[in-house]
Structure 1
């Protein structure tokens, strides 16, 4: 076991992304959705995720994509899978980072997950006015 990372850098983000997706690829709930979506393009996906998290956590501007559109096209994506994703992400970061950094990263991840879930699953007809 290593000493927890006390800083969030591109190097520690790289470790976080790769450690997390190693878990995802073995997780009974998540692996099929990810493997079916990513297929054999894991290296480009991991590189994209490193750029994404660098942009989120370091405001580096490395990521230029549209995560909402990407996730809306994922076959098999379900609301409950976000809970499992967040759980694995939290476990990964609690092992890698100091508690303060792990909490900071998790807060960002939870906001992103909430935004994606609203964009993917929100249906205006489900809102009941006056209830």
Structure 2
């Protein structure tokens, strides 16, 4: 098995996910978007924790398709990703040592850029080559 991308434990990932989604549920913009799709918060948090454990710790257990889910939701907008990432960064800074927070933030921003671009392309199809930002 590959070593973790940075020093973090599975328990820390679980805690960050739980704290973050607690903040999401209270957020004035993100809360209603998530509430329209998530009916079982413990199940959702478990699935997202498995996603991050696979992405960071290389643990098996997640086999979903985040791009497909975000694009199929219908009400996820490109501008939501900046809000999501800011709230996630705040959670990381408050919950983890600086090095782990920075490593996870960089990974989240890279993934978030890809998801945002996918949602943006779905909403605003263009002819010609894609614009990579």
Q: What TM-score bracket applies, with the shorter chain setting the length?
A: 0.7 to 0.9
Q: Distance in 1 between matches of 2:27 and 2:126?
A: 33
Q: Distance in 1 between matches of 2:119 and 2:79?
A: 13
In structure 2, the CA distance between the partners of 1:127 and 1:20, relative to structure 1 (3 Å rule), is same
Please report the RMSD computed on the Cα atoms of aligned residues, expressed in angstroms: 2.0
Shift of 1:79: 1.1
TM-score (norm 1): 0.86
Shift of 1:128: 8.8
Q: Deviations over 1:36-78 (max 9, x none)?
A: 011x221211110110010111111221111111111113111
TM-score (norm 2): 0.85
1:65 alignment counterpart: 64
Within a 5 Å distance, the mapping from 1:1-131 to structure 2 comes to: 7-38=7-38, 40-122=39-121, 123-125=125-127
Q: Distance in 2 between matches of 1:26 and 1:61?
A: 31
For residue 37 of structure 1, give the secondary structure of its aligned residue in structure 2: coil
Q: Distance in 2 between matches of 1:13 and 1:33?
A: 23
Runs of 5+ in structure 2 lacking a partner? 1-5
Shift of 1:124: 3.2
**How many pairs align?**
123
Q: Deviations over 1:14-51 (max 9, x none)?
A: 0000000000000001000000011x221211110110
Q: Contact 2:71–2:119 at 8 Å: present in 1 too?
A: yes
Q: Distance in 1 between matches of 2:58 and 2:111?
A: 15
